[in-house]
Structure 1
Amino acid sequence: MVLNFDKKKKIVNEISKIIPKTSSIVIADISGIKVNKITELRKNCIKNKVFLKIVQNNLLKIIIKNTKYNCLINNIVGPIIIALSTEHPGTAARLLKNFSKENKNINIKAAVFEKKLLTSSDEINFLVTLPTYKESLIKLIYIIKEISLVKFIKLLNILSKKK
C-alpha cells in the first residue's frame, strides 16, 4: 500500500506519542501471515493494552532514531510488525510468543527492554516470563508471610526450651 506524505506524517506522530509511554518494544517478522490472523492478534493486543502496528521500515527507523529504542534500527528488515507495551514490559512479548506457537510463520526478531536489545530466544523468553506487578506483589506478600511464620515458630521453640 502506497502512503502519501500526510498519512506517513500521521503514522509517525501517532507512534511518536506512544513511544515515551512504553516500557518495551517487540518487533516480529510477519512473512506469510494471513490478514485474518493479524486481525485476531490485534484484537488480543487491544484487550491487553498493547499497541500493535504494521509500519514501513523507513518510517519506523525515523520514529525510533532519537529514542531509547534506537538500538533496534539494524533489526528493522523485511515485513515486520511492531508491538509496544505501555503497562507491563512483558505483555507484548508474551502475546507475540503465544501467537507464534499457533502461527509458525511469525518470528520475533528483537525486543528492547530498559535500553537493552534482546535478540536471542533466551533473552526474549526472559521478557516473556517477567512477572506482572500483581504477580510480584503476591510473591512478596507470600515471602513476608512465610518469614513471619518461621520466626514465630523459632520464637516458640526458644520459649519452650527456656521452661
Structure 2
Amino acid sequence: MALQLEQKQAIVSEVSQVAADAYSAIAAEYRGLTVSELTELRAKERQSGVYLKVVKNTLAKRALEGTPYECMRGGLVGPLMLAFSQEDPGSAARLVKDFAKQNNLLAVKMISIGGELLD
C-alpha cells in the first residue's frame, strides 16, 4: 500500500528531527532478516537509547537534507535501516554490532559521527 503525502511528510519530519539531535548515525542493510529478528532488534533498540527506523531511501534522503548527516545521502541504496544514537555516540554502533554477531545478515553500510562519514 502506497503512503499518502501526509504520511510521507510526517516520516520525513520525524527522521529529520531525530537526525538533527543525534550524536551518530548508522545505515545498515537488513536484507534476509526475518520479521521476528527485526522485532528482536527493535526491542533492544528501545532499551538502549537508539532510534531505529526502516525508511524508503527517497524519504531518508529528504529527511537527512539540512542535518549533520547529509553526508550519508549518496550511499542510501538498497534495503537499509537507519539507527541514530540519542544518548551517547556509540550506542547505535554497539546495538548493531552486538546484533550482527548473532545475525550475520545485518551489515553496516555507513557510519557517521557528528556529520563526518567514516570509512
TM category, shorter: over 0.9
SS at match of 1:68: coil
2:79 paired with 1:50: no
1:69 aligned residue: 69
Identity %: 37
AA aligned opposite 1:15: V
Instruction: Give the greater-gyration-radius structure (CA).
Output: 1
AA aligned opposite 2:27: I
AA aligned opposite 2:69: Y
AA aligned opposite 2:40: E
SS at match of 1:108: strand
Q: CA deviation at 1:114?
A: 2.1
2:105 aligned residue: 105
Q: Which has the higher strand share?
A: 2
- Conserved in 1, the CA contact under 8 Å of 2:19 and 2:68? no
Q: CA deviation at 1:65?
A: 1.6
**Cα RMSD, aligned residues only:** 1.0
Report the TM-score when normalising by structure 2: 0.95
1:153 aligned residue: none
Which fold has the larger relative contact order, with Cα–Cα distance below 8 Å and residues 6 or more apart in sequence?
2
Measure, in 1, the Cα distance between the counterparts of 2:33 and 2:91.
21
Structure 1 ranges of 4+ moved more than 3 A: none
Q: Which has the higher helix share?
A: 1
After the TM superposition, which residues 1-163 of structure 1 pair with which residues of structure 2 at under 5 Å, given as runs?
1-119=1-119
SS at match of 2:89: coil
Q: CA deviation at 1:13?
A: 1.4
Q: CA deviation at 1:3?
A: 1.3
- Conserved in 1, the CA contact under 8 Å of 2:22 and 2:85? yes
AA aligned opposite 2:56: Q
AA aligned opposite 1:98: D
Question: Matched residue pairs, number?
Answer: 119
More displaced stretch, 102-111 vs 65-74: 65-74
Report the TM-score when normalising by structure 1: 0.70
Measure, in 2, the Cα distance between the counterparts of 1:114 and 1:7.
28
